Chains A and B, each alone.
Chain A
Amino acid sequence: MRDYVIRRLLQGGVLLVVLSVAVFILLRIAPGADPAIIKCGLGCTEERLEAIREDLGLNNPYFPISIESSAPVVSFNGTNQYWTWIQELFSGSLGLDWNQEPVGDELKARLPATVELLIITIIVTVLLGVPFGIISAVYRNSPTDYGVRLGAILGLAIPNFWLATLVILIPIQMWGYAPPLIKTISFFDNPWDNLRQFVPPALVLGAVSAAGVMRLTRSSMLEVMRQDFIRTARSKGLKERIVIGRHALKNSVIPVVTVLGLQIAGLLGGAVIVETVFNIQGVGFYFLGALVRKDYQVVQTLTVYIGAIVIMLNLMVDILYAWLDPRIRYS
């Protein structure tokens, strides 16, 4: 197991390097003006544009090595954008954003909101997805099953930005109610208002992921319930509740755990939209603003960090998988 973990960590490192190069290049070749032009605005002069480019380091070569068509064919660049950024990735500040604020400080301030949103979303996902998956499997091909499956398909099909808008619009139009929208409220300052603020977006995000979990739980349960040991349990005269709860569910939950782990990455993506609609000043909100203004430092840094989180989650899921099912061995 130890060798496996080390190998996976090394592979993850290589993947992150590839990811960092890819996002670095993609941001710069994407159509549109560079951030200096955006920052400079309409009253921009050549001198000011140049000063901003200098401040943002955009005048430096991209990579440590440049390849030219004329001699010298290969040249080495002491100061270059990529290496500067990589060094900043490992510094506490994570470099400066478009507003010359340390990216690390912004993330530190915003991370608790996003983490809380994701935790509540996972709870919603499990509370909705797993029980409905079980119900759907137990009552297979019944109207209940069809109803649950229809709900799951709707959950997967409805875009979360639209659902988020509805979740704000319907209560305000019908009952004059809105969740707190003007600022992000800490759980420790005001738990009730905090939950009023975070539960609706978590329901929106959770609706999508719960739909996936429900479908997986259902198919996994159905597969397990066809196994011999379930038939044995029933033939021993165990109650159906115990057969499902103690024997079937335990064995069918393994792939669900895998999917839940992977869904966190997807939820981070969904948080970008949902945080904006619900005005939660989290990492997703920050990321979207950075994308709009082409803030290289923020977009690059967050992409690589999210990539690292996904890699770590994958690894943790694999380890958890082996722990849940002792038959699984990594070599």
Chain B
Amino acid sequence: MATKSYWDRIRRQRLTRRKMLAVTGVSAAGLAIAAACGGGDDDPDGGATPTEASGAPRFGGRYTYAIAADWGTIDPVTSVGLGPGIFPRIYNVLVDRSRLQPDFTYFDLAEKVEQPDEETYLFTIRPGVKIAPNTLGIEERDMDAADAMAWFDRIEADESALQRSFTTQWLDSVSAPDAMTFELKTAGPYAYTLFRIGAPLGGTMPPREFFEQDISLTDQGVGAGPWAVIEPGSYSNTGGMVVQRNPNYYRKAENGDTLPYIDTVEAVRISDRQPRRAAFIDGQIDNYGAEDREEADGLLSENPDFFVTENPANTFISFTMNPTREPWTDDRIRKAALFALNRQEFVDLVVGEGGGRPNGLVHWPLGDFALSPEELEELQPYDPAESRRLIQAATGSDSIDIPVIYPVSDIQFHDKHLPIFLKQMADAGFNVQEEPQDFTTWLGNYTTVSYDASLSLNQIYETAEIPLDWHAALGPQGDGNFAIGIGSIFPEVEEAILASKRETDAEAQIEAVLSAQRVIYDKGPAFLPIMSWTGFTMYQPYVKNIPQGLGGTGLFLTNEMWLDKA
């Protein structure tokens, strides 16, 4: 009975007010630990098609969305957190291949990509990609290959550039044979090239004048994208931002007029969830990220005209073990942890039925790259008795003390995970010695791997590369930070992960990713994503043509959204 009432309490807790606290902290290479959706609600994503757009598209209007944290900086070369939500509205990428629909590639500054061999990419620059009017003295000219070269030069020169993990590990050379051709060579075949160079996180490219004339990018932004920070004072790094249409934008609507449809996009700072929700209901903002299905349903019952997108969130909380420290050096203990977690129970208690699914080593929102539920049932069954048996075999006792650090945070769902985690681990023979830490302390320890084990915050990855790299010797950034990978112990793990990156044939790559996961399971993984959930983004009824189903790539298509209101 006592157990039942405990879980009942947990179930009831799910109904209480939930806050999403935005924190900074997204790193290079798509590695992200942040509030879900980076603290902003404006993340077009979800189903497979744009929202139904009845009637003729309208030009004009102001689209307003809320951000929950400081920008910090809006330098697209280095900015993490909220920046990637706005960069596709200001700048351009060469191309961006959708991480959720790999058969969709958005061609932007490059209108064509050719691959004469597996390692060479020839980008043909689109003519007429013209820089917006601005007060920075940057000429309203067409972007060309020299801009791409200057961008790579900046990455080379800046230790903090987000693309450095790509350029240092995989880039062989870049060149511009002429103004309209840009050539990139990788150091060997690399399956993620087109995913990496165009990602909103670190992939958007400012005009070269910013670098040549040393113009600050931290608090102003002008490019050849659909909007620009045109008026001085329309950006505050602790407040909001207003971007206005670029009359020079190259993309045209069906009627031949220049996109974007919407004149002005405004990001407003609302830190707390409740005022954000109130502002949405009151019509002050145009979208809102509901916490879960229950809240989305509640809002729909109040106003059935709200539009809601349901998106698998590429986000999860993980249990991380340090295999260089006892007892996690023993693969039996790591496997005991693997079997200790009842992931379905996390789903049921945290987000409810239909709100999410258990994760394997690659999270389920990545579709074919994730192992099937049936196979996961075999590879990571919930079996606390087996956990105790393994602990017994390794230590001579059926229980073991384990220190576990975790950040004290009310970030989305984290507070819900903790009691479930503690209970499940105790059932499986792990006596968790809790070491709660403030976020910054935890982050420092997590980065430098100064811990035995950690229950870790939301991590957002749009490809299978980073979840697998957690098991690689050099870690998810390829520079030794966060490195707890058992690849440093088992060469076959390292080889399997590398093979999954080098396989450029789409079908074969999926198989290589699945195969790498099986190899890691066999050796006792040290990084366990627990579950991912479904995100529910609500829109005002008049917001039309929301790009969906493309992940971050959809942000490049927000210039096709329009507002059906006067």
Contact = CB atoms under 8 A, between A and B. Distances in A.
B240 interface: yes
A279 B270 contact: yes
A44 interface: yes
B240 A183 contact: yes
A43 B270 contact: no
A39 B24 CA distance: 9
A217 B454 CA distance: 54
A11 interface: no
Contact of A31 (B66, B438, B477): B438
B33 interface: yes
Contact of B159 (A47, A278, A294): A47
A99 B73 contact: yes
A286 interface: yes
> Interface centre among A33, A168, A176, A281, by most B CB within 10 Å?
A33
A81 interface: no
Contacts of B437: 31-32
A80 B444 CA distance: 25
A172 interface: yes
Contacts of B66: 182
Contacts of B481: 42-44
A277 interface: yes
B447 A44 contact: yes
Interface in A1-27: none
Interface string B52-69: 000000000000101000
B179 interface: no
Given A37-B444, A181-B270, A42 B282 contact: no
Interface in B244-277: 268-272, 274-277
B274 A165 contact: yes
Nearest to A35: B440
B355 interface: no
B272 A42 contact: no
Nearest to B31: A42
Interface string A138-159: 0000000000000000000000
Contact of B160 (A33, A48, A165, A278): A48
Contacts of A38: 24, 440, 443
A183 B279 CA distance: 11
Contacts of B275: 168, 178, 181, 277-279
A172 B278 contact: yes
B297 interface: no
Contacts, number: 127
B125 interface: no
B204 interface: no
Interface string A167-192: 01100100011101111000000000
Given A37-B440, A42-B27, A178 B278 contact: yes
B283 to A, nearest CB: 9
B281 interface: yes
Interface string A221-259: 000000000000000000000000000000000000000
B26 interface: yes
A45 interface: yes
Contacts of B447: 42, 44
Contact of B24 (A41, A182, A286): A41
A276 interface: yes
B70 interface: yes
A100 B238 CA distance: 12
Interface in B27-45: 27-29, 31-33
A101 interface: yes
Contact of A182 (B25, B270, B274, B441): B270
A99 B72 contact: yes
A57 interface: no
A112 interface: no
Contacts of A177: 282
Given A183-B268, A279-B275, A286-B238, A43 B162 contact: yes
B395 interface: no
A32 B284 contact: no
B173 interface: no
B26 A42 contact: yes
B284 A178 contact: yes
B358 to A, nearest CB: 26
A165 B274 CA distance: 7
A201 B477 CA distance: 45
Interface in B115-144: none
B282 A279 contact: no
A61 interface: no
B95 interface: no
Contacts of B239: 281
Nearest to B21: A292
A146 B399 CA distance: 58
A293 B438 CA distance: 11
A51 B437 CA distance: 26
B237 interface: yes
> Interface centre among B32, B268, B272, B284, by most A CB within 10 Å?
B272
Contacts of A172: 277-278, 281-282
A45 B443 contact: no
A102 interface: no
A45 B285 contact: no
B31 A45 contact: no
A33 B271 CA distance: 23
Contacts of B33: 42
B440 A277 contact: no
A43 B80 contact: yes
A289 interface: yes
A37 B481 CA distance: 13
A156 to B, nearest CB: 23
A182 B285 contact: yes
B209 interface: no
Interface in A263-319: 276-279, 281, 285-286, 289, 293-294
A178 B272 contact: no
Contact of B80 (A41, A51, A278): A41
A104 B208 CA distance: 33
Q: Would you list the 8 A-B pairs with minimal beta carbon distance, nearest first?
A: A42-B27, A43-B27, A178-B282, A33-B440, A178-B278, A43-B28, A182-B268, A33-B444
30 contacts: A32-B437, A32-B438, A32-B440, A37-B440, A38-B440, A41-B24, A41-B26, A41-B80, A42-B27, A42-B28, A42-B31, A42-B447, A42-B477, A42-B481, A43-B28, A43-B31, A43-B165, A45-B160, A99-B218, A100-B218, A165-B17, A165-B272, A168-B274, A172-B278, A172-B281, A178-B281, A276-B272, A279-B269, A279-B272, A281-B238
Given A43-B165, A165-B272, 10 more contacts: A32-B437, A33-B443, A37-B444, A43-B160, A45-B479, A47-B159, A99-B238, A276-B271, A286-B238, A293-B70
